[in-house]
Chain A
Amino acid sequence: MKDKKKKAVSVIARSIYVIALLVIWECVARSGILGPRSSLIFPSLEQIGEAFIKNFVKGYAGTSLWIYIANSMKLLLTGLFIGVVLAFILSGLSMVSYVFFKIYDLTVSVFDLLPGIALLPVVIIIFGVREEVIVFLVVHAVLWPMSRNMLDGFNATPRIYVEAGKNMGLKGAGLIFGVYLPAAASYIVSGLKSGWARAWRGLISAEMIFGIASSPGIGLFINQMRTNMNNAEMYATLLVIIIIGVIVQYGILRPIEINTVRKWGMTK
């Protein structure tokens, strides 16, 4: 019962918050305080709504936003998959070999600081002008924060668990899957969440700078809208980015969290 009340409060509070933000947006758009060209630079919700539909129905130069979203999602999921798998493998290996841990820890610390976009010229020379460049940048965005979380999680595993595992005859991969991964589950879920957010942002930024017209992504669409001063369409596209982000956050990551670490009583 208490949980139900909490849930109701949470829904009401969030709804009021979102409605308040929309009301403020609309008031600013309609008040004209941004000057005579307010509707061009700060379009009303109605304009954004119309642009939202237009993006999907008409698109840009005959290409619907669906195509852009499909291309982006394909690259994002590929990069995300590679990044997560690599993070598992490399962080796992770090627990098996001390020397590897020291080297990988240094690598993570160095590369986590580098913005993917700054690497673009080098990446183009290595991979060429292909979709793989974007995939690489997504992997770069996911791998290091995810690995950092996993390494921290592994290191926070109580020594007694590790010793118990060893006494039960676990070693190598068995120790990682039997002890380290379950013990670090909350860190891994947190790493997944931050990795997903970084990957999503990294993808959009990369596409805004490096746009392949034959497989156009959402970032290129935003850039095209900016270049043509189609600000309502640009805001509508930002809305699409938010909607996809929220769907993944609450539709995929949250259930994973609820069915694992929360169910096991590892987090609140």
Chain B
Amino acid sequence: MKKNLLKTIITFGTALSLCACTGNTGAGTTDVPAAQSGSSSPAEINIAYQYGLAYAPLIVCKEKGLIEEAYKAATGSEVTVTWTQMSSGADINTGIAAGSLDVGFMGVAPAISGVAKNVGYRIFTNLSGQEHGMMTSSADINSIADLAGSNEQIALVNIGSIQHIILGKALADNGYDAHLLDANIVAMKHPDGMAALESGNVSCHLTSSPYIFKEHENTALHEIKEVNAAWPVENSFIVGVASTDLHDSQPELYKALCSGISSSIDFLNSNFDEVAAMTSEYDGNTPEAELEYLKKGVYTVDTKEIFTLATFMSENGFIETSFSSYSDLVFDNVKGN
């Protein structure tokens, strides 16, 4: 018995010391970015973005090395830019909070949620506005009023996503409770939602570009217009967020980041054909379709209506924090409302 107990204690001792070693390694790893942020180390920036043509300016920025160019012009030094493609704003939020990402691009709703949760970032640029809309295959549904109080299922990408907030806003704009249709939601990715709508398995699909354009082409479907009106294409859809650490401790790099994104948006706005050829491969569209879809978006660094959205989210219980002004959401250099 004593022998057994001794064996057990030794086993645990070994296991604990192994865990402790792993812990130390972890600590060392997290220290690395802090050390690299010093002025003597080579500059480095980690950027995360997501899939789809709403992120097209970032493909330009990446392919043309515009951040590197801006940084070199300002400081004469090199910067290593690491681009990572992630599948959700929630993962990017965690990455920034953990210090492994400096910059992220995501829907404006998760960005506002992140600022509210004190993830440690603010919005540093707008990236694009895209068309949103809700399509239905049911002849009986022609307006939000027809949906209110019904059991019709609405597919959208996720609860808490910008599409969910837009549904809530469309309801509120038409005099209903913003959460009236929450129980009707079926959370699924855009392509699955489109397949579910077209096969008659859900009544409605609230989606964004380019899926909304693809669904427009289907004559068996029609649009519920109030949803598009609740968040038109000019309003901010995808925004960029940068960690406050990057903004405060590496101002030159932050400026180069803003400049790189701004240049890529300018390039896109004056070279749609070239960008469509560049991004069509990533998005799986033909260059012609990509060009058509790209031209329907609005690409600018100035934000639009994000404070209105943040106030709406706060007043309707989508987030627990309220913001007193636009400047609570963005860094000083950002223009818009």
Contact = CB atoms under 8 A, between A and B. Distances in A.
Interface of A: 5, 9, 12-13, 16-17, 20, 24, 27-28, 31, 33-37, 40-41, 61, 120-121, 124-125, 128-129, 209-214, 220, 223-224, 226-229, 231
A36 B199 CA distance: 48
Interface string B1-41: 10011001001100110011001001100100000000000
B186 A227 contact: no
Interface of B: 1, 4-5, 8, 11-12, 15-16, 19-20, 23, 26-27, 30, 88-90, 93-94, 97-99, 110, 113-114, 117-120, 151, 153, 155, 158-161, 179, 182-189, 191-192, 195-196, 199, 201-202, 317, 319
Looking at chain A's contact residues, is the secondary structure mostly helix, strand, loop, or mixed?
A: helix
B187 A211 contact: yes
B160 A228 contact: yes
A214 B1 CA distance: 56
A35 B95 CA distance: 12
B97 A5 contact: no
Contacts of B1: 5, 9
Given A121-B192, A220-B159, A37 B120 contact: yes
Contact of B195 (A17, A40, A124, A223): A124
Nearest to B26: A33
B119 A9 contact: no
Given A41-B97, A211-B187, 19 more contacts: A9-B1, A12-B8, A13-B11, A13-B12, A16-B8, A24-B20, A28-B23, A33-B30, A37-B98, A37-B120, A40-B119, A124-B196, A125-B196, A210-B188, A213-B182, A214-B183, A220-B187, A227-B110, A228-B113
A213 B98 contact: no
Contacts of B319: 228
A116 to B, nearest CB: 14
Contacts of B20: 24
B180 to A, nearest CB: 12
A226 to B, nearest CB: 5
Nearest to B34: A35
Contacts of B195: 121, 124-125
A35 B196 CA distance: 43
A37 B121 CA distance: 11
A38 to B, nearest CB: 9
Contact of B186 (A31, A41, A213): A213
Nearest to A227: B160
A108 B27 CA distance: 45
18 contacts: A9-B4, A13-B12, A16-B12, A24-B20, A33-B27, A61-B317, A125-B199, A128-B196, A128-B201, A129-B202, A209-B189, A210-B186, A211-B158, A211-B188, A213-B184, A223-B158, A226-B88, A227-B161
Nearest to A2: B1
A214 B118 CA distance: 31
A125 B5 CA distance: 58
Contacts of A213: 159, 182-187
Contact of A9 (B5, B185, B202): B5
B16 A20 contact: yes
Contacts of B317: 61
Contacts of A16: 8, 12
Given A9-B8, A40-B118, A210-B186, A227 B158 contact: yes
Contacts of B191: 121
B159 A120 contact: no
Contacts of B159: 211, 213, 220, 223-224, 227
